[in-house]
């Protein structure tokens, strides 16, 4: 039978199928962090159930951590307690933890790929909806709730219904200034925030084939923003080159053996999808959002749609925008470059290449937050930190930061923030904050201009 | 887990689409390490203004609406995987959420906490809102065994879908953890075969 990439990986992980019910799906890699794990550990303790496979779990601290003075005790008492519980729980259960200050610490979806933990063909879960990021490697990766975290602790398995298959094809040449973030914002703007619900999405076409791993991660990261359980891209030479040589990647003969398996992970010609969409790369321009869900996106030079429902009116009133309005020249006082969507080395190279030789606008407060300690180190090695500093930006220490504003990195009420993160929900970046999602390039250009600008005109 | 069989009660309408889990429970309340106390922060920034005063035109604050059923607009529970959203709804007192669409992770989280997500057609959702608009004390009956939701005064009803396994869990108050732990032998056998399966895939 002809199979999709998704089917091949899923079917290879089914321990048992329950008649008229879900599959027992084996999980190769479980990632955990401080926010969605404590209640799961408590539940196990109460029921006196041991962690079944501690060596298949890796923990990091990222969601509530400060991005300044990480060497000092965490000031916020509740955050400190949550981090302490994570350390204790990991220690008691023999789980590897890359805590605050560890050279491998970082946002869970940045650190696992860069350590070679993320590999093609794996099933991966984490109590975080952006776990879909790891699908960039041709893995089945998806976010789970805390009850499911408990299930994986107890059995290294999950009871899950097999999602349907969706394929999104984008072919052609991307225009100048159009980044992977723009591609996925464009796709979501076309399909809406729940078009993917119940599906696992494969991204196919030469646009994705030509993307770097960083770009593919940005795309797969936002699969959940169209409702999809996860997204994935078939592994290829770009994938193998990225994985090879990383700390926890297989080495030598073992690598070659696994690579031979990874090469089988492609959708068979003629395999069927339950739903399929195709887009033309040339139609994509730098994108920004104008509303309060990631599907409310327009081309940066476009205008806010005039026709909308009651919920759209609520969103526009929250954002302080009017139907038909263009966002060009809108003054912006905050920008955020970071989050599991856009905080990898390539994102900072992209931002630095635009910023180089320019100055930050005086009205702009910028939060520039690397995704991991390793990314931060590479930024220094490549001298990008100097570029940012000379332009008037200060780099923060790694963490989820202003993507969800659990720490002190908040956007004040009523202020707009052009943000490279993944969600523009009401209050997501702080109570009353107004988020405009965009690429690192758009955020950098906004920071220099102090307003939203059609920067593509100035690109060589 | 708490059992669920049938529920007959009035409902609170929330006619907003794409309600995300950041609205249900904002991230700043996720620092707890237990499951208690999330109810008071449910829809915090919609229920209260920045000075902590209740927002008058928000349905959860309006005396005319009450009950353990929340009826919400399309695509309820999108966004973050935080199970805290299900805990908050449950702790506030809801036992059923009705919508024309649920985000996958939220739906799973709800089911794992004995909070029943009832997915109805967009037309029937409109009927439900209409019934409350006509009489805010309208009662609704949710019958899990027969997978049916009914507007009591008119008798109009619709059947809803639910995974047979999950239905059994809810009716009996079982959860997945005990079931999975009972399967550990099969899981260990699977682990032993995994390498062979990969090799077989290369041969094909």
Q: What DSSP letter does each residue of A222-275 carry, written as one string?
A: GGGGGT-SEEE----HHHHHHHTTSTTS--HHHHHHHHHHHTT-SPPTT---SE
Let me know: does A133 contact A344? Beta carbons within 8 Å.
Answer: no
pLDDT of residue A457: 86
Q: B121: distance to nearest CA of chain A, Å?
A: 15
Residue positions forming the annotated binding site of A for [4Fe-4S] cluster:
340, 400, 403
Lookup: tokens for B19: 């309600």
Picking from A235, A285, A223, the residue whose alpha carbon sits closest to that of residue A439 is A285
> Residue A167 phi/psi, 5° resolution?
-130, 135
Contacting residues for B137 by C-beta, under 8 A, at least 6 apart = B10, B64
Kind of pairing between the strands at A199-204 and A164-171: parallel
- Which residues of B are less than 8 Å from A82 in CB distance? 31, 33
pLDDT at A82 over 90: yes
Residue A417 structure tokens = 């923030």
CA A90 to CA B107: how far, in whole Å?
29
Residues facing A299 on adjacent strands:
A287
Minimal C-alpha gap between B7 and chain A (Å): 24
Residue B147, both tokens: 């997978």
Distance separating alpha carbons of residues A322 and A274, to the nearest angstrom: 37
Q: What is the mean pLDDT of residues A382-389?
A: 98
Going from the C-alpha of A211 to that of each of A17, A108, A174, A214, the distances in angstroms are: 36, 22, 11, 8
Chain A residues in contact with B82 (beta carbon < 8 A): 35-36, 145
Question: Looking at residues A327-347, what average pLDDT do you find?
Answer: 98
Q: Do B23 and A64 touch (CB under 8 A)?
A: no
Helix, strand or coil, per DSSP, at residue B54? strand
Percentage of chain A beyond pLDDT 70 is 100
Task: Supply φ then ψ for residue B156, to 5 degrees.
Answer: -65, 135
- Residue A460: the pLDDT is 64
Cβ contact (<8 Å) for B197 and A151?
no
Name the residue in chain B with its Cα closest to that of A198.
B104
A201 and A223 Cβ atoms separated by less than 8 Å: yes
| Cα A234 to Cα A148, A267, A333, A342, distances in angstroms | 27, 8, 40, 21
Q: Is the pLDDT of residue A311 over 80?
A: no
Q: Among candidates A221, A213, A207, A222, which has minimal Cα distance to A249?
A: A213
Structure confidence at residue A174 (pLDDT): 97
| Cα angle, residue B138 at apex, residues B136 and B139 outer, rounded to 5° | 140
Closest alpha carbon to B167 in B15, B30, B17, B5:
B5
| pLDDT (0 to 100) of residue A309 | 73
Predicted pLDDT at A212: 98
Q: Which of B175, B204, B71, B191 is closest to A146 using CA atoms?
A: B175
- Please give the residue of chain B at the shortest CA–CA distance from A164: B104
Lowest mean pLDDT among A13-22, A26-35, B63-72, B125-134: A13-22
Spans in chain B with pLDDT lower than 70: none
Answer whether B75 sits within 8 Å of A155, measured CB to CB.
no
From chain B, the residues in CB contact with A404 under 8 A are 22, 27, 80
With CA atoms as reference, the chain B residue closest to A431 would be B45
On the 0-12 / 13-18 / 19+ scale of CB atoms within 10 A, B148 is middle
CB contact under 8 A, B33 and A163: no
Q: What is the DSSP letter of B184?
A: H
| Residues A452, A286 contacting (CB under 8 angstroms) | no
Could you tell me whether strands A57-60 and A29-32 are parallel, antiparallel, or unpaired per DSSP bridges?
A: parallel
A129: chain B residues, CB-CB within 8 Å: 79-81, 105
The verdict on ipTM greater than 0.85 is yes
Burial A78-105 (b: 16+ CB within 10 A, else e): bbebbbebbeebbeebebebbbbeeebb
CA distance B45 to B50: 8
Nearest CA in chain A to B46: A426
Q: What is the mean pLDDT of residues A386-407?
A: 96
Q: Of the candidates B187, B201, B202, which has its C-beta nearest A155's C-beta? A: B187
Residue of A nearest to B102 (CA): A197
pLDDT at A326: 97
Does A307 have pLDDT greater than 90?
A: no
Average pLDDT, rounded, for chain A: 97
Give the distance, in angstroms, between the CA of residue B192 and the centroid of all CA atoms in the same chain.
37
Among B2, B25, B31, pick the best mutation site for testing chain A contact (most A Cβ within 10 A). Answer: B31
State residue A361's pLDDT score.
98
| Residue A458 predicted with pLDDT over 70 | yes
3-state secondary structure of A449: helix
Chain B residues within an 8 Å CB radius of A311: 16-18, 73
Interface test with B, best of A125, A128, A425, A437 (most B CBs within 10 A): A425
A chain contacts of residue B162, beta-carbon cutoff 8 Å: none
pLDDT over 80 (residue A179): yes
Confidence of residue A315 (pLDDT cuts 50, 70, 90): very high
- Yes or no: say if A196 and A208 are a contact pair by the CB < 8 Å rule: no
Contact A200, A231 (CB under 8 A): yes
């Amino acid at each position: 039978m002809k199979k999709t990439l998704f089917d091949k990986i899923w079917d290879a992980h089914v321990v048992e199928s329950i008649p008229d019910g879900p599959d027992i799906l084996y999980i190769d890699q479980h990632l955990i962090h401080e926010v969605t794990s404590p209640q799961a550990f408590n539940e196990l303790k109460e029921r006196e159930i041991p962690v079944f496979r501690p060596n298949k779990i890796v923990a990091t601290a990222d969601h509530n951590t400060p991005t300044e003075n990480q060497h000092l005790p965490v000031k916020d008492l509740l955050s400190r307690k949550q981090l302490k519980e994570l350390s204790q729980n990991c220690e008691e259960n023999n789980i590897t933890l890359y805590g605050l200050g560890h050279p491998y610490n970082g946002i869970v979806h940045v650190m696992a790929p860069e350590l070679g933990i993320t590999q093609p063909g794996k099933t991966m879960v984490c109590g975080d909806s952006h776990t879909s990021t790891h699908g960039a490697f041709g893995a089945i990766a998806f976010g789970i709730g805390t009850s499911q975290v408990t299930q994986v602790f107890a059995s290294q398995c999950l009871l899950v219904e097999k999602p349907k298959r969706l394929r999104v094809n984008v072919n052609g040449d991307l225009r100048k200034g159009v980044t992977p973030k723009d591609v996925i914002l464009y796709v979501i703007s076309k399909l809406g925030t729940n078009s993917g619900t119940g599906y696992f999405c494969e991204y196919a076409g030469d646009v994705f084939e030509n993307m770097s791993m960083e770009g593919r991660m940005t795309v797969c990261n936002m699969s959940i923003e169209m409702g999809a359980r996860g997204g994935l891209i078939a592994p290829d030479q770009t994938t193998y080159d990225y994985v090879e040589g990383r700390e926890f990647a297989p080495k030598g003969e073992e690598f070659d053996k696994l690579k031979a398996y990874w090469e089988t992970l492609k959708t068979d010609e003629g395999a069927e999808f339950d739903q399929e969409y195709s887009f033309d790369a040339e139609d994509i321009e730098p994108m920004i959002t104008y509303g309060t869900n990631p599907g409310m996106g327009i081309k940066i030079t476009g205008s806010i749609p005039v026709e909308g429902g009651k919920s759209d009116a609520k969103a526009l009133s929250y954002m302080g925008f009017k139907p038909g309005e263009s966002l060009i020249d809108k003054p912006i006082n905050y920008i955020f470059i970071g989050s599991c969507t856009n905080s990898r080395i390539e994102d900072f190279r992209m931002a630095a290449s635009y910023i180089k030789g320019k100055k930050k606008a005086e009205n702009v407060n910028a939060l520039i937050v690397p995704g991991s300690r390793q990314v931060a180190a590479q930024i220094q090695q490549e001298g990008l930190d100097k570029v940012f500093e000379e332009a008037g930006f200060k780099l923060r220490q790694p963490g989820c930061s202003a993507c969800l504003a659990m720490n002190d990195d908040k956007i004040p009420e009523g202020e707009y923030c052009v943000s490279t993160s993944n969600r523009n929900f009401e209050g997501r970046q702080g109570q009353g904050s107004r988020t405009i999602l965009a690429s690192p390039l758009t955020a950098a250009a906004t920071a220099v201009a102090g307003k939203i600008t059609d920067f593509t005109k100035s690109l060589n | 887990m708490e059992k669920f069989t049938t529920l007959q009660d009035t409902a609170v309408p929330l006619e907003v689409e794409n309600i995300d889990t950041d609205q249900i429970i904002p991230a700043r309340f996720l620092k707890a390490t237990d499951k208690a106390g999330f109810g008071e922060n449910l829809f915090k920034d919609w229920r209260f203004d920045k000075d902590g005063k209740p927002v008058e035109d928000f349905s959860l604050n309006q005396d005319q609406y009450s009950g353990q059923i929340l009826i919400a607009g399309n695509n309820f529970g999108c966004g973050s995987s935080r199970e805290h959203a299900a805990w908050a709804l449950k702790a506030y007192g809801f036992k059923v959420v009705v919508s024309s669409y649920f985000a996958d992770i939220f739906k799973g989280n709800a089911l794992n906490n004995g909070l029943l997500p009832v997915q109805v057609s967009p037309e029937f959702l409109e009927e439900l809102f209409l019934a409350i608009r006509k009489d805010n004390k309208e009662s609704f009956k949710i019958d899990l065994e027969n997978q049916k939701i009914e507007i009591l005064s008119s008798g109009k009803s619709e059947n809803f879908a639910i995974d047979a396994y999950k239905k059994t869990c809810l009716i009996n108050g079982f959860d997945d953890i005990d079931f999975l732990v009972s399967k550990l032998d099969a899981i260990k056998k699977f682990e032993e075969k995994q390498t062979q399966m990969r090799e077989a895939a290369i041969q094909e």
